[in-house]
Amino acid sequence: AQSVTQLGSHVSVSEGALVLLRCNYSSSVPPYLFWYVQYPNQGLQLLLKYTTGATLVKGINGFEAEFKKSETSFHLTKPSAHMSDAAEYFCAVSHASGGSYIPTFGRGTSLIVHP
Amino acid sequence: KAGVTQTPRYLIKTRGQQVTLSCSPISGHRSVSWYQQTPGQGLQFLFEYFSETQRNKGNFPGRFSGRQFSNSRSEMNVSTLELGDSALYLCASSGGGFGSYEQYFGPGTRLTVT
């Protein structure tokens, strides 16, 4: 079984400030980890993923995340928030199962960016 | 490459009716998954189809069904609609084989049941 916990349903930052969205996972096998972003009335867009190798993963729009196995965490960061970053962010975990990689999603964190 | 497309984008139905939603995956992708997204339950996995066969299934009642065609396009059907079926239904496609870790999502179909 696998699960994801995203701490904080809402995170509010000022434009230009550091963005930190927290994600902890539970998985009985080595996980594959993802961050997705969802803008209003749209589907999910992949920001970044960790599968194997380097634990610091860089994604689109200046986001990055670090896989910390000892802490079972995969927090998402961005050095300087833009107004356009305001959206819902989902952390997800999956593992290989017969060719499938069905992700389990966290409940999401709404990022609010103040001018 | 064109992305995942879903039709229709919006639907309003009445309790007791049935509805069919359509999804066209990215060209070359053989796996299509369906999700239900609601404010209360978040993103929940419905089922996955691969090569016209249901490969995985989530924990939803039998009123929710799907199928996949030989061109990988997929449809999902919900019969005897209930108010609680109001949700955003998302379709996602992936290559379907080993190493196809990520899923690519469509814009969703917003279903409102009155």
pLDDT class of A53 with cuts at 50, 70, 90? confident
**Contact call for residues A19 and A81 (beta carbons, < 8 A):** yes
Q: What's the mean per-residue pLDDT of chain B? A: 94
- Residues in chain A whose Cβ is within 8 Å of chain B: 32, 34, 36, 41-46, 49, 51, 90, 94, 96-108
Residues B91-111 pLDDT 10s: 999 987 777 778 999 999 999
Tally of CB atoms within 10 A around B16: 10
Query: Distance between CA atoms of A45 and B10, rounded to whole angstroms?
Result: 20
**Contact call for residues B66 and B87 (beta carbons, < 8 A):** no
Q: Which residues of B touch A41 (CB under 8 A)?
A: 107-108, 110
Residues B14-65 pLDDT 10s: 999 999 999 999 999 999 999 999 998 999 999 999 999 999 999 999 999 9
B residues 16-55 lying closer than 8 A (beta carbon) to A: 31, 33, 42-43, 45, 48, 50, 55
CB contact under 8 A, A94 and B101: yes
Residues A93-104 pLDDT 10s: 988 777 788 899
Of A6, A5, A4, A8, the closest CA to residue A112 belongs to A8
Q: What's the mean per-residue pLDDT of chain A? A: 93
